[in-house]
Chains A and B, each alone.
Chain A
Amino acid sequence: MNEIGKPVIGLEVHVELKTKSKMFCGCPADHFAKKPNTQTCPVCLGLPGALPVPNQQAIEWCVMLGKALNCETLLFSKFDRKNYFYPDLPKGYQISQYDQPFCQKGWIEVNGKKIGITRVHMEEDTGKLIHEGGSTLVDFNRSGVPLVEIVTDPDFDNAKDVKAYLQKLQQIVRYLEISDGDLEKGQMRLEPNISITGTKKPYKVEVKNINSFSFVDKAINYELKRQQEIIEKGETPVQETRGWEETAGITKTQRIKEEAQDYRYFPEPDIPPIRWTNEQLRKIESQIPELPDAKLIRFKKEYQLMEYDAEILTRDTLMANYFEETVKVGVKENISPKQIANYIINRKVNITEVLPAKVIGNILQTKNIVQIDEKELSKVIEEILKSNEKAVSDFRKGKENAIMFLVGQVMRQFKQKVDASVIKASLLAKLEKWQTK
């Protein structure tokens, strides 16, 4: 037996919050594609004497996300300093949370499995290094942007589930309207740590630089395969940080860390600890909208939808709300939610342009059109062609309106409203083989 161990994958995800201002100062938090160093102040530049003042909105959103991930909220929480040197970190420490995060011990269901959420905490983003023409520049626009870090337990054993988890997390932050969760813009950053059980020495490989969902699978599967090959040789993979190289489709060593770095955490003396009252927490919880899972279940039950349809309609709140609006209009016209779902999904309705009432109008029109028996239609067409030889020959000569005349003739033979396009299609098919007698 060539038994190799079980993959063990945990995830750290950073989500940038879309608050108006940064985490600890009044500068705008939206930094994407802004001119470098135009959104800075003494606080986010870490100038001497500058002090952080926490953004209440960001803290509440962090708690909201924690609650949405079924976490418990600590009634007493605090910020800590994480001390390390890097040129993009102007204070020489990052304000983060260490042993008393806002939220911990939650869970989320992914592909029918329960994934543990270790913690959800609040911290600040760093500046950005730009390597240009042999020198390195620092842009501090991103410095101090609120970041929520969501850490899972090492509960994943395959890349597919990881991807599903990430998509769900993205969906949740969008539902909560606390972040756009755009990976390409760096609003959501993922760092899986990957290992395989059963090695002599425990190890963990962190993979960075995965900035698209489509690479999650690839990067994790590549890494698992790489590690398996090492283990099959009887060796233990090196504990390290690797970077995903998109073009080559491989991971590459970035930093080898045998021991955990000592960040010398200690309580941030510039920010008083946060003490929640149960009432405050209830208030935050009451602001949480219906979340994707609950909405999906409700849609299936309330509107008798199939899983597939319900899933599409609950992907984002805009679509879900649109569907429900349309259902409300449809009820008056006796149109079932199922029909509405089919119409919206199959016709790929542009929900930002087409009003729900218009959708119902369209459905009503199609509804009045009766299906005609094909044999009967064929019989009627043959009779009409026989009795309208002039129109047939006109059509053959290239007179386009001749066909519409024939369609009209056929339609007249039916009492109910019939679909002109169906008749036209049948007519054309018939005409191809039609010999004028």
Chain B
Amino acid sequence: MAGLTIKTAQVKLTKKEVSSEELVKLCLNEIEKKDNLNAFITVNKEGALRQAKFADQKIKDGINLPLLGIPVAIKDLFLTKGLKTTAGSKVLENYIPQYDATVVKKLYEAGAIIVGKTNCDAWAHGSSGENSDFGPTKNPFNPDLVPGGSSSGSAVSVAADMALMATGTDTGGSIRLPASFCNVVGLKPTYGRVSRYGVIAMSSSQDSIGHFTKTVEDSAIVLGVTAGQDKFNATTPSTPVQNYTKAINDVKKVKIGIPKEYFVKGLDPKIKDAVNKAIKFYEKEGFGIEEISLPNTEYAIACYYILQPSEVSSNLARYDGIRYGNSRETFGDEAKRRIMLGTFTLSSGYYDAYYKKAMKVRTLIKKDFEDAFKKVDAIISPVSSTMPWNLGEKTDDPLAMYLSDALTVPANIAGIPGISVPIEMIDGLPVGMQILGPHFSEELLFQLGHFYERNR
């Protein structure tokens, strides 16, 4: 499994060097072996093996599908028909969905095999994975450290060879941060590029549906499957889906912006050096490098922690204790905290001071990026200002936890795409860089990331 990517696995599958069933067994084996990482809430052993047999038959029949026979993992926030979906919360401890999320449906149709549902911060609330009601996921590079969150299990499952791809959701950095902490590629597409239908909502105006892969090219392959307008999601525009892999090698020497506000004090100097090295690489290769300013960056977290809990308080109202078994008492501390925060910021008398003002700040942050993208084609920055921290280190300090998303949140507020690409190992731990682009510039992000991966 190690070293195997979607692309290489596909070659082996078509050449019959390996069967889908064998791939799935390898994954299930890794899952079992690395149980201590707690990456999965539910393992779909029988289902996956059954599907793999079908896939092998299809391969034999010469059927060609983009992910045929490829074992994938699904964040437990995505509804899977007949397969338990908990959102990492005890509230949905025994919830078995009646329908598949659009992304899950598309993955099935593309021939993918679902090996299981991955652990995550309950309701995707968190940056470390420690808010899961089913225990924290551990960093495969050092199990005493957090893997980043909230899509913790998904990042770990790809990093630790339990799947060739895993889905995630990124509302404030929940894909990019764990990707950086776990040495995998994490894509947060443009808001609306991938359907949210059937994905348990956190902050509906910012939830972005993405995935983890081992390479940028794999990420492009997967987005080709998951992207597109969905008649079940009114916020997916009709913007055509590009063929992301077709021109992945044809990168133009575009101009890259370096936002000075992302390199402030508090940024781990080792991370700073690593990112600067990556920037130097692009410069040497003939890309334009230009320092830019995103002046409202410092307000992003404050703005985010008004808009997001406001929507959370409303989105979690449906778990009313009448229909999903467990009562609202079952919500963990973080969910309760956000429900209270959001209820407060939406209350009459406070709405104007908080929600409305945050909406205005959102407009300013969007404008920062619009202005920046008039000057440059893409932006490169660190993903996180710190390296993976110790389990338990920030659990008593919610604010410190919130601040760990400072460099990823602005992209969610603006709805632009971002990709986290591994760049260095520092003291045995991975670090990624973040590449941001204008709305629907995923193709460019893939080209830039792929170019780095191949030529560094």
Contact = CB atoms under 8 A, between A and B. Distances in A.
Interface in B143-164: none
Interface stretch (B23-31, B91-99, B272-280, B382-390): B91-99
Interface in A75-105: 81, 83, 85, 87, 90-93
Contacts of A51: 196-197, 201, 232-234
A270 B317 contact: no
B235 A270 contact: yes
A52 B317 contact: no
Given A53-B231, A92-B317, A93-B317, A264 B197 contact: no
A345 interface: no
Interface string A172-192: 000000000000000000000
Interface stretch (B9-17, B130-138, B292-300, B340-348): B340-348
B204 A49 contact: no
A53 B347 contact: no
Contacts of B200: 48-49
Nearest to A41: B99
Interface in A26-81: 42-43, 46-54, 81
Given A47-B99, A270-B204, A83 B346 contact: yes
Given A266-B346, A270-B235, A271-B234, A49 B101 contact: yes
B340 to A, nearest CB: 12
B205 interface: yes
A408 interface: no
A374 interface: no
B252 interface: no
A123 B116 CA distance: 39
B355 A266 contact: yes
Contacts of B198: 42, 49-50
Given A49-B200, A53-B234, A266 B310 contact: yes
A98 B408 CA distance: 32
Contacts of A376: none
Given A262-B347, A266-B355, A49 B79 contact: yes
The winner among B316, B317, B351 for most chain A CB atoms within 10 A is B317
B87 interface: yes
Interface string B334-357: 000000000100111001000100
A319 B203 CA distance: 53
Contacts of B203: 269
Contacts of B343: 264
B318 A54 contact: no
A85 B314 CA distance: 11
Contact of B318 (A91, A262, A266, A269): A91
Contacts of B199: 49
Nearest to A259: B348
A262 B348 contact: yes
Interface string B89-122: 0001001011101000000000000000000000
A83 B348 CA distance: 12
A48 B314 CA distance: 12
B206 to A, nearest CB: 8
Nearest to B77: A49
B265 interface: no
Contact of B351 (A81, A266, A270): A266
A262 B351 CA distance: 11
Contacts of A53: 231-234
A48 B318 contact: yes
Contacts of B351: 264-266
Interface string A277-304: 0000000000000000000000000000
Contact of A83 (B85, B232, B314): B314
Contacts of A361: none
B234 A272 contact: yes
A54 B355 contact: no
A49 B197 contact: yes
A269 B205 contact: yes
Nearest to B322: A87
Interface in B56-109: 78-79, 85, 87, 92, 95, 97-99, 101
The winner among A42, A51, A91, A92 for most chain B CB atoms within 10 A is A51
B323 interface: yes
Given A49-B201, A50-B197, A50-B198, A272 B235 contact: yes
Contact of B320 (A50, A85, A262, A271): A85
Contacts of B217: none
Contacts of B98: 42, 47
Contacts of B313: 83, 264
A43 B348 CA distance: 28
B379 to A, nearest CB: 25
Contacts of A92: 314, 316-318, 320
B403 to A, nearest CB: 24
A91 B323 CA distance: 11
Contact of A48 (B95, B204, B311): B95
B235 to A, nearest CB: 6
Contacts of B92: 48
A330 B313 CA distance: 67
A432 B273 CA distance: 126
Interface string B389-400: 000000000000
Given A47-B97, A49-B79, A90-B323, A85 B317 contact: yes
A46 B232 contact: no
Nearest to A86: B320
Contacts of A266: 310-311, 314, 346, 351, 355
B167 to A, nearest CB: 13
Contacts of B204: 269-270
Contacts of A83: 313-314, 317, 346
A205 B447 CA distance: 65
A48 B97 CA distance: 8
A47 B87 CA distance: 13
Interface string A207-242: 000000000000000000000000000000000000
A81 B200 CA distance: 17
Contacts of A52: 234
B356 to A, nearest CB: 9
A54 B320 CA distance: 25
Interface string A240-281: 000000000000000000000010111001111000000000
A83 B99 CA distance: 26
Interface string B172-213: 000000000000000000000000111111011100000000
Contacts of A48: 79, 85, 87, 92, 95, 97, 200-201, 318
Nearest to A46: B318
Contacts of B196: 49, 51
Contacts of A270: 204, 233-235
Contacts of B320: 85, 87, 92
Contacts of A46: 318
B83 to A, nearest CB: 13
B192 to A, nearest CB: 9
27 contacts: A42-B198, A47-B79, A47-B99, A48-B97, A48-B200, A48-B201, A49-B78, A49-B198, A49-B199, A49-B200, A49-B201, A50-B197, A52-B234, A87-B322, A90-B323, A92-B320, A262-B347, A262-B348, A264-B346, A264-B348, A266-B310, A266-B311, A266-B351, A269-B204, A269-B311, A270-B235, A272-B235
4 residue pairs, one from A and one from B, having the closest CB atoms: A92-B317, A269-B205, A264-B346, A269-B204
Given A42-B99, A54-B234, 15 more contacts: A42-B98, A43-B232, A47-B98, A48-B95, A48-B97, A49-B78, A49-B97, A49-B196, A53-B232, A90-B318, A264-B343, A264-B346, A265-B351, A266-B314, A269-B235
